Structure 1
Amino acid sequence: MTVKLDFEECLKDSPRFRANIEEVQNNVSELEVRLEKLVKQCQAMLEAGRVYCQTSKSFVNGLRELGHQCCGDKMMEECLHKFSTKLSDILDSQGEVIETTQKSVKTKLQTFVKEDVRHFKDVRKEFERSSETLEGALAKNAQAPRGKQHEVEEANNALLNARRIFRSEALDYVLEINVIEAKKKTDILMAMLSLMETQAQFFQQGHTSLSELEEYRQKLNEEHTQFVLNSAREKRDMEQRHAAIKKKDVSYDDSIMDFNADAASGIAMEGYLYKRASNAFKTWSRRWFSIQKNQLVYQKKYREQPTVVVEDLRLCTVKPSSENERRFCFEVVSPSKCCLLQADSDRQQQAWMSAVQNSIASAFQERRDDSHSPRQRCSSMSATLGGGGGGGGGGADQENDGCKALEDIQSIAGNQQCCDCGESGPDWASINLGITLCIVCSGIHRSLGVHFSKVRSLTLDSWEPELIKLMCELGNTVINRIYEARIDEITIKKPHPSSPRGDKESWIRSKYVEKKFIQKLPETGRNPPVKRSSFKRNRTATQERTGPRPPLKPKPSRATLARGTGLSSSDLFQKNNMSNNKNVDDEEDLSGLHPGALLYRSAALQNFPVMADALAHGADVNWVNAAEESSTPLIQAVSANALAACEFLLQNGANVNQADGNGRGPLHHATILGHTGLVCLFLKRGADYNAKDKTQKDPISIAVDNANADIVTLLRIAKMNKEMREMDGAFGQTGDETYQDIFRDFSHMASNNPEKLKRRSADPKT
């Protein structure tokens, strides 16, 4: 430690000591002023550094976003990604420099000013106070009269006491002077050293980080040089072509495109035409027309869906229009409407009329060449259905049955009022929940997304038979027992028909999305695997043989609901099993099943309320039971020939192609067991008829081995229909009418007359 003042000198209190003290005091005062200014400057530097880092990070994020936008250019994307990553690393290091400066410089110097200098000032005040006291005692002692002994003694005692206090305070002050002098050196030097070391590390890291890109930067620089040369060359070529083209006459109309029926893009002709609207104003609009797939279509913007003007050019004719005041007009006339179009010139008008006529001729030629196409074979194959596939007098009867079924849906318990607000006469439905809704609540359900609710109109949309059957199995009363089981325990009030839309939306989200009102499951026994029942063993054995399917279990009553009526899951299933299915083991305990296993067992029992309850409690609709050959709830429903249960699972997101441990999906199992209605359902829902199990058999070969003519027919028709759709391309029809009629008949029979689907062919090759 450097000694600024000597302790012996302070006891003398000499003028030299006083001069030294005054010099020290001036130095400390000046040091305080400079340090306070330096601390403020340091704070300003830190704030500016943080702003710089934040702004730089925004710039780096902009580089990253530019790189994402340039994802089609690999070189640009790689360049921007690498540079933004390195700059981000450097900015992180700079942020560390700022934090270190905050701790080692600003905080250290600020502490020195606020604590050390303040303590120095306090000691200085005590010293000055004792010095003034000593001066007073000395003056009083000097003034004491010789003849007054008691005043002399009193002055002498006061002087001794003041001198003792002064010397003590003087020693303390000298010590504080020496301490602050030493501390000034150590603290300031330490702060500066720490700052320099941090700066050195920052620049070293930045140099190292950028040096890693040295080779890449050299490579990029060479590519940039080449780009500059190529760009200059291309610019020169374009300027030459531009000058050559400007010398030509560019006023002529060269936008005609020759008709090409065999164009690779499928577009035989395209270009701009004016189209007169069919409204009362008869306005003309310029649109981009094209002839493709024997259709005349137009669009306003490139990516919007084309609007079809003529669906089949074979049914129309084209002729010039001279009645209109506008020039270059022609008409495309079809049985249903007449479309008036206008070209830009006489040449374009003749070209478009010729293109339409050529398209008509090409369409008829394709029709003749395609007289033996899979579409015709599909129509002829429908004759093999005979009594089993026809369904007898067709459309009118099925339409009447559909109307009656919709009336049945509305007559289910609770379905006369909206499930969520109670408005009477609801004409909308949620098909995956099995409830009816008013128009306001249906709009709210639609906004939830199809993973929560799939909305359909009871009057405006078409309804498949299996979907009607599913709706009749559930209903508002059943679903509300599940989703409103705890409504009495919660203070939220259920909305009524006149409630504001916001109240209804809040209620519906709380009910179906947040599931606030369902009964909580017990915490015990949530994850044990399902025990293998004798029913499952019998079903597995049945799958291994190709004979007739086993007798089905009777379905439990739909009115029985475990959590809605106070029965436990165990009571519910034991009751159903004892009364309806003698094949299930008596010792099987289902009370502790978690939602996935509960859905698994209830699918086999066709108990829709419990299935809906399990889904409400978060059951995975594709839950896999590892203890039973990785079977799923959908495969369990197939085993019971439960058409409506399969539809319920599919509407709630079940994977129609998820296979079990033997590689067999639901379509395999339905084919093996001879469930024709289920085969029809799965094919309509996109099942893969080419999928093979572990024995390398697909559903078609299994159906042929089982001599099931109806299933063979369905599978082959589905295959041909897919081939026809692929031949038709993007603008083709959704399927052959014969295919649609056959599957509609099978769906109708599977839902209303399943006994008609039990026939088998005597000829395995049928």
Structure 2
Amino acid sequence: MRGGGLKSCFTNSKKYDFQRWFLIRNGQLLYMKRNNGNSMNDSSQQQSSYSVMISDLRLCTIRPSNDNDRRFVFEIISPNSSHLLQADSQIECDQWINSLQLAITNLFKSSDNGNANSFASLPRMFSDDRPNTFLTAKVEIKQQMIKDKIEYVRSLTGNEKCCDCDADEPEWASINLGILLCVNCGGAHRGLGVSLSKVRSLHMDTWDLETLIVMSELGNTVVNSIYEAHLSNDMKKPNAETDALTRRSYIEAKYVQKAFLRSLPASNQMRSSTRTIKRWSVMKSSISTANTGNENDDDTSHTLKVNNRQLLTRRLTAPSDNDTTTDNPPAIWNMNIYLYEGARHRNVPMMLHALALGADKNFFNEHDHGRTPLIQTILSRSIAAAEFLLTNNAKVNLADEDGRTPLHYATPLANKGRGPIILLLKRGADPLLKDHNGIDACSLSMTIGDPDVITWYRLIALHEQMKQEDADAEKTYISILDDPVYMKEIARTPSFS
């Protein structure tokens, strides 16, 4: 791989001002003092030994430097040091920054493919178009994944019409309720406030894959089976032509007063309805028809069966031993336990119902080590259930009675899938919080030995250090977690539907 000449200006507290030859190789940044009188392409120079400036580029942040005394300077920040390097021109400076960032990205991809020591795909230095081409391709992959998921959400049964007035082709969504709305009902939902309904445009707003996974678990038919279960003839549902005042009155009755809400099922009804879910993993099949069997009339069974009657049929497959849980009857029964059990069984519709009934999203279950519903979603490895709670303002760092946060639970499960870890980090989880034994998630990551997880946690630790000097320091690790490679990990996590 080709290298280039740079001037080393600053390393930690020491200032330098001499030219060196730098090279990116095997995931490291190497350097050699420039020999006077020798050409940069001198073969004797190329064969000389190099010293290591950065031993692992994955731990580094690369950014332009706002150095008022020098031009064409960029900065390399690692957990243990900081380096300022000066190029000969702005074009050369930009090429170095792009090449280093691209090298870091390829290192992450190599590790993810189980080939951490192979760096054949690292970029050639000073290429005018390859970095931009690669970054553009990543953006296009991400956008296509989001677009495909939006179209899937559109295809769910009932989503072809507005959830509240049945107007055709709704273009708005309430992301915490999991429904699609027309523009008029979307405006009414905005009036409810974000604590009740978070409205977003399907086309004009930015979407995360995690949010769309939640939308995929719900949909208008499922949600209306909960919120319109007891809709009577006295309250006529609005249509596309209904005036704004009547529309607003209906929506407030439905979501604020909960006038038509399905009631809390008895505990024995809930357990009989979730027993099958416990013993089986539910997967989507492309088959277009299936037998739905006989339906009973209890509330939760109705909700679960409606959820199963989505556009794509589900088929049951035998789970691994790790997917099974003991179905012990709850010591007490109320809406909070209902939410907790829904989280345990990856059942987002049940969780939506529980929150509508008034369950506490940050419920502290004193009968189960003080665990929260969010912790239960992490133990069940459900991105949809976890993101549903976080979208509804669950606290991402709320610990159990032993001081263990959701990230404490997610870290040892990295070998079963890193999707929950990625989600928690993107939503603000702190890997440096210690439990009552003085152990943090960062320490746990060293035990499991996953290099990517270790790197993510170290980058966050580095960001916390940078915040002490710059409160507005950029969260560079977020862009890494948004890479399509890791988005696919989120998409692969198990769900109820």
TM range (shorter): 0.5 to 0.7
- Shift in Å, 1:591: 12
Identity, in percent, stands at: 33
Amino acid at match of 1:705: T
Match of 1:669 among 409, 415, 420: 409
Q: Structure 1: how far apart are the matches of 2:439 and 2:409?
A: 12
Spell out, residue by residue over 1:611-637, the C-alpha distance to the aligned partner (whole angstroms, 9 max, x if none).
111111111111121111011111111
- Shift in Å, 1:495: 0.6
Aligned to 2:297: 566
Q: 1:647 to 1:565 in 2, by over 3 A?
A: farther
SS in 1 for 2:139: helix
Aligned to 1:699: 441
**CA contact 1:421–1:497 (8 Å) conserved in 2:** yes
**CA contact 2:281–2:317 (8 Å) conserved in 1:** no
1:470 matches 2:214:
yes
Aligned to 1:502: 245
- Shift in Å, 1:745: 3.2
**CA contact 1:671–1:679 (8 Å) conserved in 2:** yes
What are structure 2's unaligned runs of at least 5 residues? Answer: 1-64, 83-96, 115-133, 309-314
**CA contact 2:426–2:481 (8 Å) conserved in 1:** no
Aligned to 1:88: none
- Shift in Å, 1:722: 4.3
Amino acid at match of 2:356: A
Aligned to 1:520: 263
Spell out, residue by residue over 1:86-127, the C-alpha distance to the aligned partner (whole angstroms, 9 max, x if none).
xxxxxxxxxxxxxxxxxxxxxxxxxxxxxxxxxxxxxxxxxx
Q: 1:754 to 1:606 in 2, by over 3 A?
A: closer
- Shift in Å, 1:749: 1.6
- Shift in Å, 1:695: 2.2
Equivalent residue runs for 1:69-88 within 5 Å: none
Equivalent residue runs for 1:189-268 within 5 Å: none
Q: 1:722 to 1:622 in 2, by over 3 A?
A: same
Q: Which has the higher helix share?
A: 1
Aligned residue pairs total: 366
Amino acid at match of 2:257: E
1:740 matches 2:482:
no
Q: Structure 1: how far apart are the matches of 2:139 and 2:283?
A: 33
Aligned to 1:169: none
Q: Structure 2: how far apart are the matches of 1:520 and 1:743?
A: 39
Aligned residues: CA RMSD = 4.0
Match of 2:109 among 337, 361, 386: 386
Equivalent residue runs for 1:583-732 within 5 Å: 583-585=324-326, 588-589=328-329, 593-674=333-414, 675-724=417-466, 727-730=469-472
- Shift in Å, 1:728: 4.1
**CA contact 2:157–2:220 (8 Å) conserved in 1:** yes
Q: Structure 1: how far apart are the matches of 2:291 and 2:262?
A: 16
Equivalent residue runs for 1:279-428 within 5 Å: 362-363=67-68, 365=70, 368=73, 370-372=75-77, 382-389=105-112, 394-428=138-172
Amino acid at match of 1:502: L
**CA contact 2:346–2:377 (8 Å) conserved in 1:** yes
- Shift in Å, 1:710: 2.1
Q: Structure 2: how far apart are the matches of 1:746 and 1:726?
A: 31
Q: Structure 2: how far apart are the matches of 1:411 and 1:591?
A: 40
Q: Structure 2: how far apart are the matches of 1:493 and 1:419?
A: 14
Q: 1:569 to 1:579 in 2, by over 3 A?
A: farther
Q: Which has the higher strand share?
A: 2
Spell out, residue by residue over 1:464-484, the C-alpha distance to the aligned partner (whole angstroms, 9 max, x if none).
111111111100000000000
Q: Structure 2: how far apart are the matches of 1:502 and 1:749?
A: 44
Amino acid at match of 2:189: H
**CA contact 2:283–2:317 (8 Å) conserved in 1:** no
- Shift in Å, 1:387: 3.3
Q: Structure 2: how far apart are the matches of 1:381 and 1:361?
A: 22
Q: 1:475 to 1:592 in 2, by over 3 A?
A: farther
**CA contact 2:422–2:490 (8 Å) conserved in 1:** no
**CA contact 1:390–1:745 (8 Å) conserved in 2:** no
Q: 1:753 to 1:608 in 2, by over 3 A?
A: closer
Q: 1:382 to 1:414 in 2, by over 3 A?
A: same
Equivalent residue runs for 1:55-74 within 5 Å: none
Q: Structure 1: how far apart are the matches of 2:363 and 2:455?
A: 32
Spell out, residue by residue over 1:180-202, the C-alpha distance to the aligned partner (whole angstroms, 9 max, x if none).
xxxxxxxxxxxxxxxxxxxxxxx
**CA contact 2:254–2:260 (8 Å) conserved in 1:** yes
Aligned to 2:226: 482
**CA contact 1:664–1:693 (8 Å) conserved in 2:** yes
TM-score (norm 2): 0.64
Q: Structure 1: how far apart are the matches of 2:215 and 2:301?
A: 26
Aligned to 2:488: 749
Q: Structure 2: how far apart are the matches of 1:417 and 1:611?
A: 24
- Shift in Å, 1:369: 7.2
Q: Structure 2: how far apart are the matches of 1:689 and 1:720?
A: 12
**CA contact 1:717–1:739 (8 Å) conserved in 2:** no
SS in 2 for 1:429: strand
Q: Structure 1: how far apart are the matches of 2:334 and 2:199?
A: 29
**CA contact 1:557–1:607 (8 Å) conserved in 2:** no
**CA contact 2:228–2:261 (8 Å) conserved in 1:** yes
Spell out, residue by residue over 1:391-433, the C-alpha distance to the aligned partner (whole angstroms, 9 max, x if none).
9952222211211111111111111111111111111111111
SS in 2 for 1:487: coil
TM-score (norm 1): 0.43
Q: Structure 2: how far apart are the matches of 1:579 and 1:518?
A: 34
- Shift in Å, 1:595: 1.1
Aligned to 1:456: 200
SS in 2 for 1:456: strand
Q: Structure 1: how far apart are the matches of 2:201 and 2:113?
A: 28
SS in 1 for 2:397: coil
**CA contact 1:419–1:435 (8 Å) conserved in 2:** yes
Equivalent residue runs for 1:144-159 within 5 Å: none
- Shift in Å, 1:362: 4.5
Spell out, residue by residue over 1:65-104, the C-alpha distance to the aligned partner (whole angstroms, 9 max, x if none).
xxxxxxxxxxxxxxxxxxxxxxxxxxxxxxxxxxxxxxxx
**CA contact 2:381–2:493 (8 Å) conserved in 1:** no
Aligned to 2:234: 491
Q: Structure 1: how far apart are the matches of 2:455 and 2:343?
A: 28
Q: 1:749 to 1:364 in 2, by over 3 A?
A: farther
Q: 1:601 to 1:485 in 2, by over 3 A?
A: same
- Shift in Å, 1:665: 0.7
SS in 2 for 1:365: coil
Equivalent residue runs for 1:112-131 within 5 Å: none
Question: Which of the pair has the greater relative contact order for Cα pairs under 8 Å at 6+ separation?
Answer: 2
Q: Structure 2: how far apart are the matches of 1:422 and 1:369?
A: 56
Q: Look at both structures and tell me which one has the larger radius of gyration over its CA atoms.
A: 1
